[in-house]
Amino acid sequence: MVNRIIRLDNYVLNRLDDLVFKFCRLLEKHTNYVIVSGYLSIVFGNSRPTLDVDVLFDKFTKENLDVFLVDLKKNDFDYIDSKEELYEIIETKKEKLDIFDNNSNWYFDFKKAKDKYDKLSLENADLLLINNKYKLKIAPIELQIPYKLVKLGSDKDIKDAVYLYNYFKDELDIDKLKEYGKMLNCDLSKIGVKL
């Protein structure tokens, strides 16, 4: 289930987009997921370098994870963790799993949704529909903005937050943005949100 559909038409796909679609197509067969953080800013046109794509997932059984890992290998992705370490990620004992693309240096930071903000991102995900063909589940922009400002907080994250706010200024659900801002104790007026 998705919250709303965000359409990007006449979008020119790049190699990173291709890789993200490929990964998410494999992933969605096994679990619910949502893309968060830097890639969201990039897909909406903020030209900044990145080496990783952050993806949160919901649940995995060991059996499902086994199938997913085989799928990954078949599709030119790789990981360096042992099977035991990989099982730990689904029990949230391990922070994240790095999944590498064999044909580039890009990799996926693959994390289990743990705190309430992760779960809110999954439950309120938007569907990004590119060229009426490619589908990606993305975290709500209204949550990403205060989350990046408060929880992440590097210069790069602040720039992403400001970029996303200004890019979506006329389309954002301002009440939601304020609600999430309050939840995260974030002073949104600093980036120009009228409170």
From 32-40, 78-86, 91-99, 165-173, span contacting other proteins (CB under 8 A): 165-173
Residue whose CB is less far from other proteins, 155 or 175? 155
Residue 96: which of 106, 107, 20 has the closest Cα?
Answer: 107
> Which strands, in side-by-side order, build the sheet including 107-112?
5-8, 126-130, 134-138, 33-36, 52-57, 107-112, 96-101, 77-78
Residue ranges in 86-145 that form contacts with other proteins under rule CB under 8 A: 104-106
| Chosen residue from 4, 5, 14, 76 binding other proteins by CB under 8 A | 14
From 32-40, 85-93, 136-144, 163-171, span contacting other proteins (CB under 8 A): 163-171
Residue 68: which of 33, 103, 41 has the closest Cα?
Answer: 33
Residue ranges in 19-58 that form contacts with other proteins under rule CB under 8 A: 42, 44-47, 49, 51
Least Å distance, CB 53 to other proteins, is: 12
Run of H or E residues at 96: strand 96-101
Residue ranges in 60-79 that form contacts with other proteins under rule CB under 8 A: none
Tokens of 51: 């080496």
| Chosen residue from 31, 129, 167, 172 binding other proteins by CB under 8 A | 167
Footprint of other proteins (CB under 8 A): 8-16, 42, 44-47, 49, 51, 104-106, 155, 158-159, 162-167, 169, 190-192
